[in-house]
Amino acid sequence: MVRNIIIIGSGPAGLTAAIYASRAYLKPLVIEGPQPGGQLTITTDVENYPGFPDGIMGPQLIMDMKRQAERLGTEFVMGNVTSVNLSKRPFVISVEENDKRYEAMALIIASGASARLLDLESEKKLMGKGVSACATCDGFFFKEQDVMVVGGGDTALEEAIFLTRFAKKVTVIHRRDKLRATKILQDKAFKNEKIDFIWNSVVEDILGVEEEKVTGIRLRNVKTSQTIEKSCDGVFIAIGHSPNTKLFKGQIELDDKGYIITMNGTKTSVPGVFAAGDVQDHLYKQAVTAAGTGCMAAIDAERFLEGI
């Protein structure tokens, strides 16, 4: 069976594309991916998505979007896409978990982005043993403990603020002396008595490999080159995200950071393939912009299908 549209990814971009494609009677199939619902499922309060004057929890927002897409006729399959063939239409998308190949005349890629890590040997060895990239997933395990958060963006401050619910003390390590995060989050973090900052510092190593649990962190001041060791029980890495585009390398044009290049809306270098959300956006990366480009991708795909 050749479908009209397959959507890879089930964050706000993929789900909005699904809502629009369903309302155009295109019966889209969404392949949910390794993190169904995407990054909103690992956040807490979302205060900047329009329509929710009192804010909404990220997982709730995603559940509502999914229910809306389902009600309108979207089909969902769980599973990871393992390969795609975009060399001719119909495009072929293989999904490992259910050992299936799906075919479609148009494809919307909304595979999002994943948390970046520091690339230290100790970080790999201590992942899940005190090192984490998700405070909402793991914060609970750090009750009354000392934790570090690495990064200076919105994610780092959101994680730091969230961790104060559990931890005794939260220290944010940032490589500059100015935060990248939005002012409202900066204000909240500066006002929080449990949060401290260490500026101009990078993580040289995470300590505790022999003990098989995090015992501390070694930092280097980038201005003075001085190194210090600080004891702690947990290290949360919040240094940004990389686009999930490995599957598409060599088949569609990517920029030098690996993001899908889109033109004239959401078109990619392959006719019939469209991209939406964080997989093609290194600038805004917001839930609302992801949803907006998801809507654009569905409209672009619908027009493409009308023309073939």
Active-site positions read 134, 137-138
Give the one residue of 89, 169, 175, 188 binding ligand NAP; rule: CB under 6 A. 175
Q: Please pick, from the candidates 2, 23, 25, 48, the single residue that binds ligand NAP as defined by CB under 6 A.
A: 48
Task: Tell which positions 189-228 bind ligand NAP, by CB under 6 A.
Answer: 202
Interaction pattern, residues 243-272, with ligand NAP; x per rule: CB under 6 A? ------------------------------
Count of other CB atoms within 10 angstroms of residue 269: 14
* Comparison of 70 and 204: residue with beta carbon closer to ligand NAP: 204
Q: Which residues, other chains included, contact 203 with Cβ-Cβ below 8 Å and sequence gap of 6+? A: 118, 120, 150, 173, 217, 218, 219, 235
Cα distance between residue 254 and residue 299, in whole Å? 22
By C-beta, is 3 or 285 nearer to ligand NAP?
285
Q: Total number of residues binding ligand NAP (CB under 6 A)?
A: 19
CB of 31 to ligand NAP, least distance (A): 24
Give the span between the Cα atoms of 135 and 159, in whole angstroms.
Answer: 6
- Residues with Cβ < 8 Å from 220, sequence gap 6 or more? 201, 202, 204, 226, 227
Residue 159 lies near ligand NAP (rule: CB under 6 A) = no
- Residue 90, preceding peptide bond in cis (omega within 30° of 0): yes
Q: Which of residues 135-154 bind ligand NAP (CB under 6 A)?
A: 150-154
* Closest residue to ligand NAP in the complex (CB): 153
Biggest CA pair distance of the chain = 63
What x/- string results for residues 70 through 109 when contact with ligand NAP is judged by CB under 6 A?
----------------------------------------
Angstrom CA distances, 197 to 132, 210, 298, stand at: 19, 28, 43
Q: Which of 23-31, 127-135, 137-145, 236-244 is the region at the interface with ligand NAP (rule: CB under 6 A)? A: 236-244
Q: Which of 89, 169, 180, 220: binder of ligand NAP (CB under 6 A)?
A: 180
Among 239, 254, 276, 279, binds ligand NAP (CB under 6 A): 239
Closer residue to ligand NAP in complex, CB, 169/180:
180
41 — phi, psi (to 5°)? -75, -15
Tokens of 274: 């469209």
Q: Which is nearer to ligand NAP, 155 or 245 (CB)?
A: 155
Q: Which of 32, 123, 138, 158 binds ligand NAP (CB under 6 A)?
A: 158
> Helix, strand, or coil here: 60?
helix
CA–CA separation, 93 and 104 (whole Å): 8
Strand spans (E) along 45-158? 45-46, 56-57, 75-77, 81-85, 91-95, 100-109, 113-115, 131-132, 146-150
The site for ligand NAP (CB under 6 A) is made up of 48, 118, 150-156, 158, 175-176, 180, 202, 238-241, 285
